[in-house]
Structure 1
Amino acid sequence: MTTLDTVKHAESTPDLEQPWAELGLKDDEYARIREILGRRPTDAELAMYSVMWSEHCSYKSSKVHWHYWKENTTEEMRAKMLAGIGENAGVVDIGDGWAVTFKVESHNHPSYVEPYQGAATGVGGIVRDIIAMGARPLAVLDPLRFGAADHPDTKRVLPGVVAGIGGYGNCLGLPNIGGEVVFDDTYQGNPLVNAMCIGAMRSEDLHLAHATGVGNKVMLFGARTGLDGIGGVSVLASETFSGDESGTGRKKLPSVQVGDPFTEKVLIECSLELFREGIVVGIQDLGGAGLSCATSELASAGDGGMRVELDQVPLRAEGMTPAEILSSESQERMCAVVKPEDVEAFLRVCRKWDVIATEIGEVTDGDNLVITWHGETVVDVPPRTVAHEGPEYHRPFARPTEQDVLQSATPDLLPRPSTPDELRETILTMIASPNLASREWVTQQYDRYVRGGTVLSQPCDSGMIRIDEETGRGVAAATDCNGRFVKLDPYTGTQLALAEAYRNVATGGATPLAVTNCLNFGSPEDPGVMWQFEQAVKGLAEGCRELGIPVTGGNVSFYNQTGDTAILPTPVVGVLGVIDDVRRRIPTGIGNEAGESLLLLGETRDEFGGSEWAHVVHGHLGGTPPQVDLAREKLLADILVAGSRDGMISAAHDLSEGGLAQTIVEMALIGQTGARLVLDPDMDPFVQLFSESAGRVLVAVPRSEELRFTELCGARGLPWRKTGVVVPESDALEIQDVATLPLEELRTAWEGTLPALFD
């Protein structure tokens, strides 16, 4: 017998001890693997099951709640999707023969361990999901969460994450058009690095991940396979998986993958040419769980079995074992299924782009995924048991007893500014706070306009790119989540995240079309966390039904906590919208046309639970979040889109964190134009300036369009109030009876915070 454990040896040594616990498997999971196989697993099989049954890959704690998506997705909503939950990325039809694919995923823990590579490979992974659908990646967004802005470790993590996102995305030539940067103590030691990508293709060019056709060949192409990334999605930390790249003096490498954007760039172009040539039957990217995932998912979604010769895989490290090869998460790799007669054409395209391509197996008429290593069978498993039939936990969930205490601690008794001087000082304090200050220090490190298709980007409410050069058809996207709102009420807070992303897309003039999500939570073994999660999923699903837009896919990230401290529950919601002609987009900054009216759409209430004012000024979290009215959000979006289409709105900005004061300051500074704000004498100025009531947008309307626009609002039943006027000749923001704030003073406060912290 060789020193390599084989299936035959596994059958004859049923009592051999195996490091299943060290690999992250529970005792009942290991027992189930033995039951499935009728024997103990080989080392390679154990590695495959451990990574594929990890929380990241199998969704074993979350999928019991996915019935909410099914129950709340109508046939009308399904009709908008060409591909949905279960595929590499969601795909929607945007008209004129175009389809757009988009998805958001997490790369949280790797980005804390190694900020640059963790964030960079997060971008690389989500981009490959888009390629795998047959689309050209066109833009990325990056929703980010960090610990306290002035904490020393934030100063280590944030610059590295931003550099990694910028370095990888810029090298790929992908504009970064949006996202978020949020600071909160709960993210200390556990930042959230979520990455979203948008791609486009002609509808007929859609590709799915499946291995069909007996005799079709399995082709691995892209970078060589190394020892980096082993244990990236599970806890593959046993000595079985040690080694270094040189093959001498073997040592354990970090579990964070190492990215090469230039390799990914040629992989993109190579893949797109393969699609154009029509020589790909099925395709799957190699991300989390590497070859274990790609081979088992392709075979599981196909109509037969698969045979793979693992010794054909191109390696960049000597002495790698089958388990290491199968578990490696080396980046920039794809796996395709190709007809035998197309293999030479496939290889020819790969040679053109200098991309390594190797035939590693074929589709069989059997039922199993069989993997050999130098002639010996090291894996012989039913692929569905690896890829799609992993554990399913019904984790207990219960509303925490402290939730009542949290909600009863309302901000109503907190001291409020009342005099003009106090209000003025509060405005300056708020706009300079880390969560409200300008993100230019971050976004200037990203190329927002490469490829020439970007028409809106940060600091606008949503990013927007042109898809069709001839017609001007484009798409907009926004990501949002206020974790404090979700902490106070997970159901309502998640619907508020959905509402804000939906509103931000409409504020740019696009019609919201579909949703993706990245659900970031603490440990699923905590019933309180699982209650937050269950409420969030339910809230999002029911909210999407009310808005009439489907969830096309997403990601769940659990175990985001440091010790016993879980992060704020952070279900990031990404909304994609479509616009017929990007020339009709609505900018965020007010222009320099004298006399334009500033109209506040929606209703303002005394709502400060979870507000930025309570957080910044008092360090307070308690009460209940603002009310959410999704029917009103839908009406507001319809009016904004109509205003864009008919040329009635010259600028628009939604009201969210920081309220009206933050919104008008940003509109004035972005547009470099003065304005005068007139508050309602019948309402507390503080409430008007800082309330975070949902469903509100401040719009600038030309004088020639004011009557037509206000009549539209009135006819549709949308509350509005004229609250100011654009004053191009002024270099200040005047808030009548409160303060006159020079734009230069506002700019210094707004733009100075992040450079002072991180330069």
Structure 2
Amino acid sequence: MSLSDADHDLVVAELGREPTPAEAALFENLWSEHCAYRSSRPLLSAFDSEGDQVVVGPGDDAAVVALPDHGDGDGETYITMGVESHNHPSYVDPFDGAATGVGGIVRDTLSMGAYPIALADSLYFGDFDREHSRYLMEGVVEGISHYGNCIGVPTVTGSTAFHDDYEGNPLVNVACIGLIDDPERMVTAEAQEPGNKLVLVGNSTGRDGLGGASFASEDLAEDAETEDRPAVQVGDPYTEKLLVEANEALLDEDLVESARDLGAAGLGGASSEMVAKGGLGADIELSNVHEREPNMNAMEYLLAESQERMCYEVEPENVDRVREVAERFDLGCSVIGEVTDGTYRCTFEGETVVDVDAHFLGEGAPMNDLPMVEPAEQERDLPEDVDLTEAFEAVVGSPNTASKRWVYRQYDHEVQVRTSVLPGDDAAVLAVREANTGLAFSSGADPNWTDAAPYEGARAVALENATNVAAKGAEPLAAVDCLNGGNPEKPEVYGAFKDIVDGLADMCSTLDVPVVGGNVSLYNDSVAGPIPPTPTLALAGTKQGYDAPPMGLSGEGTLLLVAARALEGDAEPRLGGSEYLAQFGGTDRFPELPADPAGLVATIADVANEANTLATHDLSHGGLAVGLAEMVTEGAGADVAIDAPNKGSAAELLFGEQAGRVIVETTDPQAVRQAFDGVAPVYDLGEADDSGTLDVTVNGESLAYDAAAIAELRDVFERELA
């Protein structure tokens, strides 16, 4: 990329002169789509980011949210929430691209004064049967595992999805939750006072990751794996672990006035954004930066995206102590300049190479006004003569719905001893003992849904994540999003992207869940075409206590299907966006969602916490068939009968994917019905038993599989990747 003619003219008009090469490179990166959100920012006002629990909303490295205290906590406790994408780097170099994505979102957490306590990864690849997709997936999972395990932060939840249109451009979205156990420890990225020093702490600066922000703001070329390798950073998790602990020590001694992670656009991005947020300027001498490569020039110091680096604002009298802390943790430390009340000015070996207004540099990029075309609604064109047994085995055994144990078993999900509900369930639950609170965490999206119906599919993504935490007894607290799209200059792509923004925003508002931060990744386009519009949502909820009903059946209760609109309600069954259609072809309209999503989610959480509730499971990907299959264990089975020929075919009832549904195993079905009276319809599915077998009869068609046969169907990853 290079600075466009229009942007160049705007910069010249502001500066009253031609920009220096370093200035031009800074503007190119900070005015890129990746940093300036030029195509997406006009749409993001759709999100409601306010609430009594929101301490710091969008615009900082991470959001800060207050936790409710469910007991005798020692004071107010905050969590941070952040999410970022590392899509293009993970295509070029799957291991390092994914690993440095983890490192970046963890440093965003540190810069708010928080200690990272949980990670979530939402991953999207091309068709699982393709060798290249498997190569990318194996490298990405290994990179996330290596980095997260080395720094001691558990990866507790996430999602993995496959779709043909990710073949030329996979997505790697990583979210992080941090903990601030004392509000006095919180810091932000807003520079505070002229005269304070800017101190760079962490790894030395090299030439890796040069131009990463601009690289992330253009379509992937056919030769990206070789030509764009220099734009991918190389991580060092052991240095990051030292940085995590050094950051804690600096906070313990109250040595930090403001902080910023060095991510996109490197030192130039971090330092200019800090002072711009405070309405201030800076004087920086680039030759003071501690480096690992000789003969670096000013532009390289400014834009290198070398990892494991933080920029701190420090009062002059505390600089020596900061240096001592850095040395104790074997980290580099250099005083690179100071905060001023003037311009953002960088010198290199006595020559001024940058002298611009910091606010103009960070916020001056003009927004794009792009044409858009609304996606057409899917018509009904269902496959014919699909045998029910064949359909069950294809859908339950699909990589999209199969067990993801191969992925999450590579992560250390129990380090820090907080994980109460482990990966593989609807949501993870963490013990935040500092506030006597259970924190539920869910993350993901379904590209089949948003490809078929961007607006309704995005609404369903939000509802599904909220249902995931509610099924574990938690009430949704807040969310962050990672909005992924193709080339916004294509009207049909931009139209679909607008729809996922609006759909996600509308459902989160309906659920009263503030979207407190996020990330946008556009230009996820390659020679293979654009990705499906993909709105990853990472949502946290809270509950009293740390325990939750399991997903697996106990074998001792009645099975109820909650929010069964297609069986007991007024909605017709639909297969739009389903794995069934992905397997057998055809199209259909997207399923109608529950009429009262907020009341539904709140009641699910209440019912999940009742003593008579034995198991709960959200139904989504793969529909009722997959949900039941996931609940059966070797010691507990289910005898399910559905007789509703006037409500739809067996395929429609088993494989439709309406979000917001939950299966509840209970010893008191009447109490569950009463709880949902006036909120959502409840359908009696049958009984759980100790058979270890799933017996299902739908409109006279029957299926029977024992737990071992189901496990064999669902063990796709272990079978194919061993």
TM tier, shorter chain?
over 0.9
Structure 1 residues 535 and 731 mapped into 2: Cα distance closer, same or farther (>3 Å)?
Answer: closer
Residue 411 of structure 1, aligned match among 381, 385, 394: 381
The reply on whether 1:586 has 2:549 as its aligned counterpart is yes
Q: Secondary structure of the equivalent of 2:231?
A: coil
- Residue 91 of structure 1 aligns to a residue whose secondary structure is strand
Offset of residue 83 of structure 1: 0.8
- Whether 2:566 is the aligned partner of 1:602: answer no
1:614 maps to which of 574, 581, 602:
581
After TM superposition, give the deviation of residue 411 of structure 1 in Å.
3.3
SS in 2 for 1:598: strand
Question: Over aligned residue pairs, what C-alpha RMSD do you find?
Answer: 1.9
2-side partners of 1:35 and 1:147: how far apart?
45
5+ long unaligned stretches in structure 2: 70-75, 218-226, 567-571
Q: Summarize the alignment of residues 277-296 of structure 1 with structure 2, pairs less than 5 Å apart.
A: 277-296=253-272
Provide the residue aligned with 1:643 in structure 2: 607
Deviations 1:526-553 (Å, cap 9, x if unpaired)?
1111111222222222222211111111
Q: Does structure 2 conserve the Cα–Cα contact (< 8 Å) formed by 1:212 and 1:303?
A: no
Show the counterpart of 2:683.
721
Counterpart position of 2:366: 391
Match status 1:82 vs 2:45: no
Q: Which residue of 2 aligns with 1:6?
A: none
Partner of 2:174: 195
Match of 2:399 in 1: 434
- Asked if the contact 2:591/2:656 (under 8 Å) is kept, the reply is no
**1:217-272 deviation per Cα after TM superposition (whole angstroms, max 9, x unaligned):** 100000000011112121499xxxxxxxxxxxxx9962110000010011011112
Distance 2:423 2:606 in 1: 23
SS at match of 1:452: coil
2:347 aligned to which of 372, 395, 414: 372
Q: What is the identity, as a one-letter code, of the residue corresponding to 2:637?
A: G
Contact 2:448 2:579 in 1 (8 A): no
Matches within 5 A, 1:686-701: 686-701=651-666
Match of 1:92 in 2: 65
Are residue 657 (structure 1) and residue 621 (structure 2) matched?
Answer: yes
- Which residue in 2 is equivalent to 1:632? 596
Aligned to 1:726, what secondary structure does the other structure show?
strand
Q: Select the residue among 102, 105, 115 that pairs with 1:126.
A: 105
Distance in 2 (CA, whole Å) between partners of 1:443 and 1:276 is 34
Matched, 1:712 2:671: no
Q: Distance in 2 between matches of 1:427 and 1:333?
A: 50
Name the structure 2 match of 1:463.
428
Give the CA deviation at 1:681: 4.7
Distance in 1 between residues matched to 2:207 and 2:462, nearest whole Å: 40
CA contact under 8 A between 1:24 and 1:235: conserved in structure 2?
A: no
CA distance in 2, matches of 1:253, 1:190: 15
Deviations 1:275-323 (A, max 9, x none): 1211111000001111011111011012422111111100011111110
- Which of 200, 203, 210 is the equivalent residue of 1:220? 200
Distance in 2, matches of 1:662 and 1:619, equals 19
- Aligned partner of 2:23 in structure 1 is 45
Map 1:224-623 → 2, pairs under 5 A: 224-235=204-215, 254-366=230-342, 368-399=343-374, 403=376, 407-408=378-379, 410-412=380-382, 414-417=383-386, 422-468=387-433, 472-563=436-527, 565-583=529-547, 585-591=548-554, 594-603=555-564, 604=566, 605-616=572-583, 618-620=584-586, 622-623=587-588
- SS of structure 1 residue aligned to 2:685: strand
**Structure 1, 642-651 or 33-42: larger mean CA deviation:** 642-651
Q: In structure 1, how many angstroms separate the alpha carbons of the residues matched to 2:215 and 2:517? A: 26
Report deviation, 1:347: 1.7
CA contact (8 A) 2:3 2:24 kept: no
Is 1:731 aligned with 2:692? Answer: yes
Give the aligned partner of residue 707 of structure 2.
743
Contact preservation (8 Å) 1:462, 1:508: yes
Amino acid at match of 1:374: E
Per-residue deviation at 1:26?
1.2
SS at match of 1:678: strand
Change (3 A) 1:108 1:428: same
Q: What letter matches 1:57 in structure 2?
A: C
C-alpha deviation, 1:351, in angstroms: 2.0
What letter corresponds to residue 284 of structure 1 in structure 2?
R
Give the SS at the match of 1:254.
Answer: helix
Cα shift readout 1:178-198 (whole Å, capped 9, x = no counterpart): 111111110001001111111
1:89-143 superposed Cα distances (whole Å, 9 cap, x missing partner): 1111112311111121110010000000000001111111111111110011110
TM-score (norm 1): 0.89
Structure 2 counterpart of 1:727, one-letter code: D
> Percent same amino acid at aligned positions?
37
Give the TM-score taking structure 2 as reference length: 0.93
Q: Deviations over 1:491-547 (max 9, x none)?
A: 211111111111111111110011211111110111111111222222222222211
Aligned counterpart, 2:643: 680
Q: Is the contact made by 1:648 and 1:709 (CA closer than 8 Å) also made in structure 2?
A: no
The answer on whether the counterparts of 1:24 and 1:236 sit within 8 Å (CA) in structure 2 is no
Instruction: Indicate how the Cα distance of structure 1 residues 236 and 316 shifts in structure 2: closer, same or farther if over 3 A, else same.
Output: farther
Can you list the C-alpha shifts for 1:376-435, whole angstroms capped at 9, x where unaligned? 2111110111112223111121225xx25xx22x234x2154xxxx32332122111111
Give the stretch that moved more between structures: 557-566 or 260-269: 557-566
The gaps in structure 1 that reach 5 residues or longer are 1-22, 238-250
CA spacing shift, 1:54–1:397, aligned 2, 3 Å? same
Counterparts of 2:674 and 2:166, CA distance in 1: 46
Change (3 A) 1:607 1:115: same
Are 2:81 and 1:102 aligned?
yes
Alpha carbons 1:416, 1:686 under 8 Å: kept: no
2-side partners of 1:623 and 1:386: how far apart? 47
CA distance in 2, matches of 1:597, 1:103: 40
